[in-house]
Amino acid sequence: MQIGFDNNLYIQKQTENILSRIEKFQGKLYLEFGGKLFDDYHAARVLPGFDVNGKIRLLHELRDKAEIIFCISAGDIEKTKMRADLGISYDMEVLRLIDDITAMDIAVNSVVITQYTGQRAADAFAKKLTSRGVKNYIHRPIEGYPLAVDYICSDEGYGSNPYVETTKPLVVVTAPGPGSGKLATCLSQVYHEYKRGVMAGYAKFETFPIWNIPLKHPVNLAYEAATADLDDVNMIDPFHLEAYGKTTVNYNRDVEAFPIVQNILGRITGDKEFYRSPTDMGVNMAGYAIFDDEVVRKAATEEIFRRYYTAACDVKQGKASEASLHKIENIMQQLDVNAESRAVVAPALAKMRQTEQPAAAIELPDGRIVTGKASDLMSACSATVLNSLKALTGIQDSVMLIRPEVLEPILRLKIDYLGSRSSVLKVDDVLAGLAVSAATEPVAAKAMSALPLLRDCDMHSTQMLHSGDQGTLRKLGLRITMEPKYPGKDLFF
C-alpha cells in the first residue's frame, strides 16, 4: 500500500499543539475527544500511513499529564444503543474501553452519566460501576439548555452538576459514540473550575473534517460520505473567515453551535473572545502530516466508493434511507466519478456475466485483479481468496490446494452436525481446510503464508454476503464492497 501520511510527524505536531494549549490555559485543559480512541480504520483508509491506534498512543505518550472522563447518555443506556461496528451496547463499550485504557497505564478518572431523568437501566449501570470501583457521576438536563445562558451559567445550572475531581493538567472527555454529552460535561467542568479559581480551558479534538485542506478535497468529502446518515455537511468556517480573513473548513453542527458555545464560555470566563471561531477550538494537526496528496486523494476516493456500496446495501435491507445514498451519489458527482470507477467492480461483474454465477474480484498489491466464481463446492469469495493466494505465490491455477479428504469432513460437520442447509464452503470453511492441509502439504503452506498480503486489498462481490463471510474477509483485512443484490430468494438474510 502506498503511503501518503506521516504518522510520526502527526503525533509530534499533535502532542506539541495539545501541550501548547494546556500552557495557554495556565495548566488545565478539558479536551473533548471525538471519534474512536482505538481502531480508527476510517482515518487509516483515507490517510494511508495513519496508525489506527494513533490517538490512544498519543494519550499514552501524555499519560503522566492526562486522565480520562467517559460520558454516556442515560437515554442511550435505556435504549441499549449499539456500536454497529462491534455489535455491543454503549454501556458495554465504556467498560471495554476502561479495561483497555487502564491496561495501557492511562488514568481513567470516572464515568459521567448525562441527561439522567430516572432511567432504571442507567441506575443499574451506575450501580455496576460503583461495585467495580469506578467513580461515576449523574448529570441531569438543565432547563433552557443551551439558550438560557444566564441560567445555565449559574449555581442552578452547571452548578447543580456534581464537580468531577481531577488532578492532571489534561482531562480528556470522550464517549462511546455521538450524542453522549461530551461538550456539556466539558463546559460544566470549566464552570466549576472557574468557581474554584482555576482558569481552565476547553478545546476539541476531531480528526475530520481536516480544517486546513480544501473544502472539496476527497478526504473531507469522504467524511461527509461516512456521516451521510447524520446529515453532516462540510462548510467554510464563516467565523474564522470574518475574524482572520482566512479560509478554513469545519462542519455544520460545530458552526451552528459555535455562537452558543462562545456565549457560554464568555459568560463563565468573562472573556467574550475566548475563541473567535469553531476552528480556533480545534487542536487537529492531521493536515500537516499529509506528504503525498495524490496518494491520499486516491485512497479517500476509494473510501467514498466503499461508503456508497455500504449505503446501497443498507437501503436494500431497509436499514438506511434513500436520502443518505443520494447524498453519497452527489459527492461522487462532485469528484466526477461513479461507483464502477472502483477497479474491482467491472471485473467482478464481467466474471458474473461470463459464468452466469455469483462472482468476486480482488485487486492484489501489484495491481493485478484476480476473480473467482461460485460453484457447487465453494462460494465466489472462497474461490477468489484461493485464486488470489495462488497468484501471490506463483502456484499454478490448476493445482488443488485443499485435498478432498480434508474437505469431506468439513462438509459433513456443516450438514450433519451443524444443520446447515447449504453444502457450499464459506470463506472460514476454506481457510480451515487450507490450514489443515498446510500441516502436510508444502504447496498449501506456501499459499497460506501469503494471507497477510491480502490486507488492505480491495474486493468486490456481485451479491450481498452473510455476516459470517463479511466478518472473515474483514479479519483478513480485505476492503470488501458488495452489489445490493440478495444471494437468493430466502427471506431470512
| Model pLDDT for residues 313-356, shown as the tens digit of each residue | 999 999 888 999 999 999 999 999 998 899 999 999 999 999 99
In a domain, 316, yes or no: no
Whether residue 489 has pLDDT greater than 80: no
pLDDT interval class at 148 (50, 70, 90):
very high
- Mark whether 257 and 367 lie in a shared domain: no
Question: In degrees, to the nearest 5, what angle opens at C-alpha 94 toward C-alphas 90 and 98?
Answer: 165
Question: How many CA atoms are closer than 13 Å to the CA of 413, on its beta-carbon side?
Answer: 9
Tally of structural domains, the chain: 2
In a domain, 368, yes or no: yes
In a domain, 164, yes or no: yes
**421-457 per-position pLDDT tens digit:** 777 889 999 999 999 999 999 999 999 999 999 999 9
pLDDT of residue 27: 87
Q: What is the mean pLDDT of residues 195-219?
A: 96
Beta carbons of 267 and 150 less than 8 angstroms apart: yes
Distance of CA 438 to the CA centre of its chain: 35
Average pLDDT, whole number, for the chain? 93
In a domain, 295, yes or no: no
Place of cell 472473515: 472
Share of the chain above pLDDT 70, in %: 98
pLDDT of residue 366: 94
- Mark whether 285 and 387 lie in a shared domain: no
Q: What is the mean pLDDT of residues 88-111?
A: 95
pLDDT interval class at 38 (50, 70, 90):
confident
**64-85 per-position pLDDT tens digit:** 999 999 999 999 999 998 876 6
Q: Is 71 helix (H, G, I), strand (E, B) or coil?
A: strand
How far apart CA 488 and CA 493 sit, in angstroms, is 9
Whether residue 161 has pLDDT greater than 80: yes
How far apart CA 339 and CA 460 sit, in angstroms, is 11
Share of the chain above pLDDT 90, in %: 83
In a domain, 335, yes or no: no
Q: Which domain holds residue 183?
A: 7-217+243-289
Beta carbons of 359 and 462 less than 8 angstroms apart: yes
pLDDT of residue 419: 77
Whether residue 493 has pLDDT greater than 60: no
Q: Is 278 helix (H, G, I), strand (E, B) or coil?
A: helix
How far apart CA 85 and CA 47 sit, in angstroms, is 20
In a domain, 226, yes or no: no
pLDDT of residue 418: 78
- Mark whether 136 and 265 lie in a shared domain: yes
- Mark whether 255 and 390 lie in a shared domain: no
Whether the predicted model's global pTM rises above the 0.85 cut: yes
**250-261 per-position pLDDT tens digit:** 999 999 999 999
Q: What is the mean pLDDT of residues 126-150?
A: 95
- Mark whether 247 and 147 lie in a shared domain: yes
- Mark whether 12 and 120 lie in a shared domain: yes
Beta carbons of 113 and 125 less than 8 angstroms apart: yes
Place of cell 462511546: 176
Q: What is the mean pLDDT of residues 17-22?
A: 96
- Mark whether 391 and 474 lie in a shared domain: yes
Question: What CATH code is carried by the domain that includes residue 476?
Answer: 3.40.140.40
Residue 306 DSSP symbol:
H
Question: What CATH code is carried by the domain that includes residue 152?
Answer: 3.10.630.10
- Mark whether 156 and 15 lie in a shared domain: yes
Q: What is the mean pLDDT of residues 201-211?
A: 95
In a domain, 189, yes or no: yes
- Mark whether 281 and 371 lie in a shared domain: no
- Mark whether 379 and 459 lie in a shared domain: yes
Burial call 332-347: b when 16+ CB within 10 Å, e when fewer: beebebebeebebbeb
Question: In degrees, to the nearest 5, what angle opens at C-alpha 225 toward C-alphas 222 and 230?
Answer: 130
pLDDT of residue 491: 60
Distance of CA 78 to the CA centre of its chain: 23
**278-290 per-position pLDDT tens digit:** 999 999 999 999 9
In a domain, 313, yes or no: no
Q: What are phi and psi of 184, to 5 degrees?
A: -60, -35
pLDDT interval class at 492 (50, 70, 90):
low
pLDDT of residue 264: 95
pLDDT interval class at 28 (50, 70, 90):
very high
Q: Where are the alpha helices (DSSP H) in 25-103?
A: 41-46, 54-61, 74-78, 90-103
